[in-house]
């Protein structure tokens, strides 16, 4: 088991990548701190983990709030005695996010707070806990749009994920000699509720699929496996990486026939 005796905190654990990661990390031996705003779904995730015979607790937190982030880290240490893995995964993609002309300031601020400020706050309180544990791993969910722009206007989302990637790289260097590895997971388009609520017709789905060389959307479970690699000692020489899991999108100019 790749996370045996580790304690892992995962934000956005009620659904999508976060839930799949919580289930997988627990199955790989970790005690899981599942963090979300959706209490029903968050508790359901924890119940599923416990039903499989593994340890987990649920913590309600608005990850854009300093006090909530400090509390979630404290909860991990109070319940399990330490923190080894921090997966800053929570994020939003707002339907009113558009280009610079049409995106309202409040949508910009909300997106930055949830997608970018939350990673800062997670690291602000999480890194001292990792140091107290003797080191560990941080995985931050960025996106392929942190590397290349989006053809569909979503400026706040794209800018926020670019910020996550830049922050990841700097923190990885700052803490490289302290036995803390920090990497950015950059997913491509996934068959999750977050994206499918926008691609709500077959035509919209096909317009996106034509750009994916593999020819399908990714699955949240596939991202969880990538996150597990980065979180585990299998990635002991990996830090500051832009870990693209995107079906080949960022490598393609023209997709295959």
Full-model pTM: 0.95
CATH number assigned to the domain covering 7-190+220-240: 3.40.50.720
Task: Count the alpha carbons within 13 Å of 68 in the hemisphere toward its beta carbon.
Answer: 16
pLDDT on residue 191: 80
- Which one of 58, 157, 229, 253 is the catalytic residue? 157
Active site residue 58: no
pLDDT along the chain (257 residues), means of 10: 98 97 98 98 98 98 98 98 99 94 98 98 98 98 93 92 98 98 95 68 70 89 98 98 94 71
In contact, 35 and 9? CB cutoff 8 Å: yes
pLDDT on residue 205: 66
User: 66: which strand partners?
Assistant: none
pLDDT on residue 151: 75
In contact, 189 and 217? CB cutoff 8 Å: yes
pLDDT on residue 254: 65
pLDDT on residue 200: 62
């Amino acid at each position: 088991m790749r996370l045996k005796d580790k304690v892992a905190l995962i934000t956005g654990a009620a659904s999508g990548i976060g839930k799949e990661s919580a289930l997988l990390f627990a199955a790989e031996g970790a005690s899981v701190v599942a963090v979300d705003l959706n209490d029903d779904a968050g508790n359901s995730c924890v119940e599923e983990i416990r039903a499989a015979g593994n340890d987990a607790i649920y913590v309600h937190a608005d990850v854009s709030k300093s006090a909530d982030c400090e509390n979630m880290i404290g909860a991990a240490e109070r319940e399990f005695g330490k923190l080894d893995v921090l997966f800053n995964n929570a994020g939003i993609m707002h339907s009113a996010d558009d280009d610079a002309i049409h995106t309202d300031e409040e949508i910009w601020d909300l997106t930055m707070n949830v997608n970018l400020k939350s990673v800062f706050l997670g690291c602000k309180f999480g890194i001292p806990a990792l140091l107290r544990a003797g080191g560990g791993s941080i995985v931050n969910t960025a996106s392929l749009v942190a590397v290349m722009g989006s053809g569909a206007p979503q400026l706040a989302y794209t800018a926020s994920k670019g910020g996550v990637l830049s922050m990841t790289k700097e923190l990885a260097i700052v803490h490289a000699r302290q036995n803390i590895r920090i990497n950015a997971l950059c997913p491509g388009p996934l068959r999750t509720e977050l994206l499918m609520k926008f691609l709500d017709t077959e035509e919209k789905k096909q317009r996106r699929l034509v750009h994916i060389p593999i020819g399908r959307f990714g699955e949240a479970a596939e991202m969880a496996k990538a996150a597990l690699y980065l979180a585990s000692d299998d990635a002991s020489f990996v830090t500051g990486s832009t870990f693209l899991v995107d079906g080949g999108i960022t490598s393609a100019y023209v997709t295959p026939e």
